[in-house]
Amino acid sequence: MTTAGDIMHRGAQWIPARETLDRAAQLMRELNVGALPISDENERLCGILTDRDIVVGCVAMGHDPSKITAGEMARGTPRWIDAGADVGDVLREMQDHQIRRLPVIENKRLVGMISEADLAQHVNEGQIASWAESVYARSGPAHH
């Protein structure tokens, strides 16, 4: 059985909810990632911040990214998956919630992230095609 822990990329890094969006953007550049999990003061997942959130939700609205925090941008219930979960569960979770990145948690700690690229390397073409169709096909709010 292939698990979430097998396909994730390690080294995912939190951004504290109190951190500003300009710092979040710098961290994304340093890590070469398009999304960061947001942690509350107890190091629990409270959301995911994407580069698109910063551009669309802050900059394009005329707000100053040095004055808005990651926590202020965190919306909805963050999705995550246990490191021991089967890759089929990963696919289902991402499809059901129309998300493109999924944090992986082990013993209540962030251990990695699963992205489209990680999925593509570990599932067959039919699975990735149906996943992409369900994540991208529907219109609606901005997806992560």
Domains of the chain as residue ranges with CATH: 4-136 (3.10.580.10)
pTM given for the model: 0.78
* CB contact at 8 A, 74 and 38: yes
Question: Which secondary-structure segment (H or E) carries 57?
Answer: helix 51-57
| Tens digits of pLDDT across the chain (144 residues) | 889 999 998 877 889 999 999 999 999 999 888 889 999 888 888 899 999 999 999 999 999 999 999 999 987 778 999 999 999 899 999 988 888 889 999 988 889 999 888 888 877 777 778 878 877 765 455 555
Query: 86 — phi, psi (to 5°)?
Result: -70, 150
* CB contact at 8 A, 86 and 3: yes
